[in-house]
Structure 1
Amino acid sequence: MAKDNVSNRASVRISVPFTNQEIELPVIQASEGPSVIDIGELYAKTGLFTYDPGFMSTASCRSTITYIDGDNGILRHRGYDITDLATSANFTDVAYLLLYGELPNKSEAEKFATEIKQHSMVHEQLHFLYRGFPRHSHPMAVMVGAVASLSAFYHDYLDVRDRTQREISAIRLIAKIPTLAAMAYKYSIGQPFVYPDNNLSYSEDFLHMMFAVPAEKYKVNPVMADALNKLFILHADHEQNASTSTVRLSGSSGANPFAVIGAGIASLWGPAHGGANEAVIKMLEEIGHASRIQIYVNKAKDKGDPFRLMGFGHRVYKNYDPRATVLKASCYELVKELGIKDDHLLDIALKLEEIALNDPYFIERKLYPNVDFYSGIIYRMLGIPTQMFTVMFAVARATGWMAQWKEMMDDPEQKIGRPRQLYVGQTKRELRDTPFGK
């Protein structure tokens, strides 16, 4: 690696295959983590593109929001460790941090929380949208449509080039998505929708909208609300994952932000992404009893068996997922608060984790529990049904998506996304050699 004497920027010299050419490319320094080779001029200089399936070695943007060191199990938002945020902050404070770069002082926190509450109601016409779905629809299907439909309510006068309107859009989305999620649940079970209550915190109000009924007063359990607050913080943002990249790519065209978030929800729905916590519960139910754990551990080791232990391993983390550590502690708090003495799925989960953490097969492959392993168990203890797990993920991640979208729109280097491809199809053929050419 050399340094440019004029700009004092680092650079690398690369020999170009199939030619005698050498080119110099700048290296952009990161504040933490790997620096990157700027290949913006690679095609112009060489006629070559890079090939990186899954973008595992490609930085698609500059960002100041979230830093991850997967080898050492580090996750930070704007420099703050995720464990500290999850154990000390409110979700709306973390939302403010993600959107604006700093934690709010007392007056800023109160003002922001009030703004969120004032935008939590949704248009009454959305009742008719929900009624258009079959009752048995997966709630994520409903959420894709409901959130994207906000673009119809906030379209004619929304200018995404205006920073103030972008901030209002972010607040609206963060405020309304819990309401839309609770509506999806209520619709699926045939209960009336419950309106937001501005006297409650973000997590308290979500539990209220999910479980209150008109016939009696619902009292929010503070330990349950705290567990949900932690879950929302832990899921709020996670750098350039599939759904966040979807939001950035679709938003790069200047599309309405609510439609953009609808695209992000669709990406999150996949079982390899947000749907993994739902798959964990299904796996535990399939195992059925702690005495059968070793059978399934052996199946997971068998290359010829399609079975996989869900909730273990992560594409980024090669250490214990720091979010899982917080959730494990929260899990025990809920067990004590709710007086749970005999939960066979929790027993299976705890024993499965113990076996996997001491098994050389999992240790060598760095397959540690991830955030999905415990989140599904906690959601279940909160009374949230399995089909709503990924919706809960979307409610939390909407904040990170809006922060990432907002950052992208503020970035002067932002361009409409246009990945390239390695074409391996047919070369030119003549139509006259087919029946259509005769």
Structure 2
Amino acid sequence: MDKKALLELSDGSKFELPILSGTTGSDVLNIKDLYRITGLFTYDPGFVSTASCSSAITFIDGDEGVLRYRGYDIADLAENNSFTAVIYLLLYGELPSSDQHKKFLLKLQELSKVSEQVINVIKAFPKTAHPMSILIACFASLSALYYERYGNNINNESLDFGVSAIAQVPAIVAMIYRHINDQKFINANSELSYSENFLRMMFGGAFDGDKSMFFAKALDKIFTLHADHEQNASTAAVRLVGSAGSNLFACLSAGVATLWGPAHGGANEAVINMLKEIEKSGDVDKFIEKAKDDKDPFKLVGFGHRVYKSYDPRARILKDACHEVLDQLEQDNKLLKIAKGLEEVALRDEYFVMRKLYPNVDFYSGIIMNAIDIPSSMFTPIFALARTTGWVTQWYEMINDGETKICRPRQLYVGK
């Protein structure tokens, strides 16, 4: 039997609205005909109670701390699969066989060459530019190359366009890093894994073979955990721009611009800055009390999540990876000590427990990258590197969805 909700207005008029059920998760009240039948819009700032699309890619249960890609639990994927296998899963819907994985790796290698036009865009920026501003321009430049070849025709595109973006973004991010540090670019090495290759293109031979493989493994987990996250702000931006018929690379540029915000992808950079500020003061308790003072604008970065109302499952995975990296480096990391102290407080202090302000993925990812000597200004570009896979997957799903319409939110007008 079809589920329905009854809407009764103050004038006594009544309307039935259908309720839709997915394969799992919350049911959805279908209001797409609400204005037509009632003359009313809904009011939902931030779209916190609105499903903007149907999707078969990522599932989150924030109350239970569940994250799945294509039905696979994130912990299993992070522990037992490479990031390239996860890319394949998100793009094609299933984990690859050994043969499929080998062919996919070859495709990534074939499509990884960065054009001279994009390289020149990177070199045109001052060394003082934030890496995210350069990355936005790089994707915008790729959209220009795309347009020269295909114009506005997006009807018959294959996944190769998306795979080329995923293949090129590690080299682009590495080139941005080396540009702002006034270092020569390093070409890709086809014998290395996706994550090892990225580290080599960034740092050259700074790490020995064993450490490079170990750090690449940690980065692989970070990439996997950040690959997609349902309809977050940057993914919503990609879909919104794409709904107007814009090409993939233009949409990716919009995704990067959205991710740059400290409330979104910039959070792990903000975590390190906060930990350094606490370290400088030498008084962790003072910052805890400031965070608990509702009248004080200071908030602990890396605690709580818009979606997760229990422990962020990605944080649990990265917490262990964080200890492994620091043990490998034999470092007694002061920032980690502060982070652990903050976590212990958050897990037992009534103020944090009542508000479910648990450590999230940004809390540990920044510490790992800081330990590998990746500067905090590069954290968000690396996040974008990983999230490119999710953006590409979501964009392709959107353009092949028969229900897709140009996004046109309404407003509650309060002016003169």
Q: Determine if the TM-score, normalized by the shorter chain, exceeds 0.5.
A: yes
Q: Does 1:424 align with 2:401?
A: no
Please say if residues 147 and 177 of structure 1, whose CA atoms lie closer than 8 Å, have aligned partners that are also in contact.
no
**Alpha-carbon offset, residue 135 of structure 1:** 0.6
AA in 2 matched with 1:339:
E
SS of the residue 2:149 aligns to: coil
What is the CA-CA distance between 1:168 and the residue it aligns to? 1.1
Asked if residue 68 in structure 1 is aligned to residue 60 in structure 2, the reply is yes
Candidates 345, 348, 362, aligned match of 1:372: 362
Structure 2, unpaired ranges of 5+: none
Find out whether 1:154 has 2:127 as its counterpart: no
Amino acid at match of 1:265: V
Scaled by the length of structure 1, the TM-score of the pair is 0.92
| TM-score of the two chains, using structure 2 as the length reference | 0.97
Q: Secondary structure at the match of 1:231?
A: helix
Q: What amino acid sits opposite 1:12 in the alignment? A: A
Q: Could you tell me which amino acid in structure 2 is paired with residue 67 of structure 1? A: F
Structure 1 residue ranges without an equivalent (≥5): 1-7, 427-438
Q: Deviation of residue 9 (structure 1)?
A: 2.0
Match runs of 1:124-143 below 5 Å: 124-143=116-135
Partner of 2:242: 251
**2:81 equivalent in structure 1:** 89
Q: CA deviation at 1:387?
A: 0.3
Distance 2:119 2:281 in 1: 44
Q: Is 1:410 the equivalent of 2:400?
A: yes
Deviations 1:20-61 (A, max 9, x none): 321111111121111111111111111110000000110000
2:34 pairs with 1:9? no
Q: Conserved in 2, the CA contact under 8 Å of 1:314 and 1:370?
A: yes
Corresponding position: 1:106 with 2:106: no
Please list the CA deviations of residues 147-191 of structure 1 after superposition, one character each: whole Å capped at 9, or x if unmatched: 221011222333321142xx0111011001111111110000000
Contact 1:13/1:23, CA 8 A, preserved across alignment: yes
Two-structure CA RMSD over aligned residues (Å): 1.4
Q: Report whether the alignment pairs 1:193 with 2:185.
A: yes
CA distance in 1, matches of 2:147, 2:282: 56
Match of 2:72 among 71, 80, 95: 80
Q: Which of 303, 307, 324 matches 2:298?
A: 307
Contact 2:326 2:333 in 1 (8 A): no
**Preserved contact between residue 357 and residue 368 of structure 1 (Cα < 8 Å):** yes
Of 45, 57, 64, which aligns to 2:37? Answer: 45
The Cα shift of 1:355 comes to: 1.8
Secondary structure of the 1:170 match is helix
Does residue 23 of structure 1 match 2:21?
no
- Determine the C-alpha separation between the residues in 2 that align with 1:16 and 1:109: 56
Distance 1:307 1:131 in 2: 38
How many Å separate the matches in 2 of 1:182 and 1:53?
A: 37
Higher Rg of the two aligned structures: 1
Between the aligned partners of 1:135 and 1:69, the Cα distance in structure 2 is 42
User: Which residue number in structure 2 is paired with residue 362 of structure 1?
Assistant: 352
Letter in 2 for 1:11: K
Contact 1:118 1:198 in 2 (8 A): no
Output the amino acid matched with 1:367: L
The alpha-carbon deviation at position 290 of structure 1 amounts to: 9.1
Q: Is the 8 A contact 2:60 2:68 kept in 1?
A: yes
Percent identity between matched residues is 52
Q: Distance in 2 between matches of 1:38 and 1:244?
A: 22
Q: How far apart are the structure 2 equivalents of 1:94 and 1:154?
A: 26
Contact 1:15-1:21 at 8 Å conserved across structures: yes
Alignment match of 2:336 (pick from 346, 360, 366):
346
- Cα deviation for residue 222 of structure 1 reads 1.3
Task: Give the match for residue 178 of structure 1.
Answer: 170
Residues 332 and 217 (structure 1), Cα distance of their counterparts in 2 relative to 1, 3 Å cut: closer
